[in-house]
Amino acid sequence: MRHYNILHLISSGGLYGAERVILELAERMQSDHCHITIGVIQSIDDRHLEIAKEAERLGVNVKVFACSGKLGFTTVFKISDFIKENKINLLHSHGYKSNFYGLLATRKCPIPIITTNHSWLTSYFRLKIYYRVLDSRVMRFFDRIVAVSEEVQGDMVRSGIDPKKITIIDNGLNIERLSPALIPDHRLKATLNIPEKNKVIGAIGRFEPEKGFTYLLKAACGVVGLHKDVTFLIVGNGPIKESLVKQANDLGISDRVVFAGYRTDIPQLFSIMDTFVLSSIKEGLPMVILEAMAAKRPIIATRVGAVPKVIHDGENGLLVDIKDVTGLQSAICRLLENPDEADRLAQSGYDTVKKSYSSESMCQRYLELYQSC
């Protein structure tokens, strides 16, 4: 079998879905036949190195490429030099910034270049133009492009990318990584100021408009009016955090909502959640849904991206329409009032992710794609 030196390249904003996919690929593929390096483009104004620290913990090689500005061309040379010196024979980038730098770096030392489009997520008009125009044009020069859902694939085709270059590969995860979630960590409730008797409705994600947290908070307002012993635990960080905190205050539910900030103990947090909610209005295939299923949490999710492919309403979770505040509220109350149904959905969700969304199957698909290049 051929030996592969693979460089994964990302400009990271934390330890979210795309980062989890990279870590799953790196940890699973690292072998005598594959040497994986995770390259992190670190901007001076955004110093997130969470993925680098986690990779080091897992024993995966890491290289940080400092970037002094929005168009730091010295970074391109650093990446190109690293490719030459380490005999990298395939570059796999993730995200618009790494696509841009990766493409320029491989012009000097031509090797196959692949990108995974985890989702073109943005609600801001200027960034929509940036993503759709610049990133789609950059992607046209890539050898292969991975979409994590049919919706993401459709977005790229409509932006002029050759559909023959696109392959859909579902996200996957190592279920064993979520095993701590199966044993409740009751001490966490106390540290988060959640009353021991309270049921916990959880949500995790970057605080961006696309994640729909504003609709979850509106639904929470209705839920806490009907159920007194309920706390909403929202985990993450991002540019709209202050507006979400203000919204909770304005709704009069700030004492029933815990904003836990950015956390690395996700399995332990899942262990104290009685229900997990995804309220997004735009997604690809969110890793957090698979993680929650692997943690045996009952799922309530919006019909967005590839979610309906994974969650079948009433079978292994509950689905509601995007922006449907009443639907979210009703689904949450339904599971609070029917614990037997919640347990059934949780077990069915666990069975689904174990059967169809393992890291083994995801890595095998990526390895076949690498070999085709």
Query: What average pLDDT does this structure show over 333-342?
Result: 98
The CATH number fitting domain 175-356, selected from 3.20.20.120, 3.40.50.2000, 2.40.10.10, 1.10.150.570: 3.40.50.2000
Interior angle at CA 291, CA 153 and CA 340, nearest 5: 115
Per-residue confidence (pLDDT) for residue 125, from 0 to 100: 44
Structure tokens that stand for 362 in this block: 């995801």
pLDDT tens figures, 210-242 = 999 999 999 999 999 999 999 999 999 999 999
* Residue 132: count of CB within 10 angstroms of its CB: 17
Domains 4-172+358-372 and 175-356 share a fold: yes
Nearest to 279 by CA among 352, 215, 348, 196: 215
Domain ranges of the chain: 4-172+358-372, 175-356
Give the range among 10-19, 88-97, 295-304 with minimum mean pLDDT: 10-19
Q: Which has the higher per-residue pLDDT, 15 or 201?
A: 201
Task: Return the ∠ at Cα 141 (arms to 282 and 68), rounded to 5°.
Answer: 75
> What confidence tier does 12 reach under pLDDT thresholds 50, 70, 90?
confident
Query: Which regions of 184-312 does DSSP assign to beta strands (E)?
Result: 199-204, 230-235, 257-261, 275-278, 299-302
Residue labelled with tokens 């995200």: 95
Closest CA to 55 of 103, 121, 111, 7: 7
Q: Mean pLDDT throughout 324-337?
A: 98
As a whole number of angstroms, the distance between CA 373 and CA 4 comes to: 11
- pLDDT 10s digits, 49-100: 889 999 999 999 999 998 876 667 889 999 999 999 999 999 999 988 899 9
CATH architecture for residues 4-172+358-372: 3-Layer(aba) Sandwich (3.40)
Secondary structure E strands in the chain: 4-10, 34-43, 61-67, 90-94, 113-117, 144-147, 166-168, 199-204, 230-235, 257-261, 275-278, 299-302, 318-320
For residues 102-129, average pLDDT: 79
pLDDT at 123 > cutoff 50: no
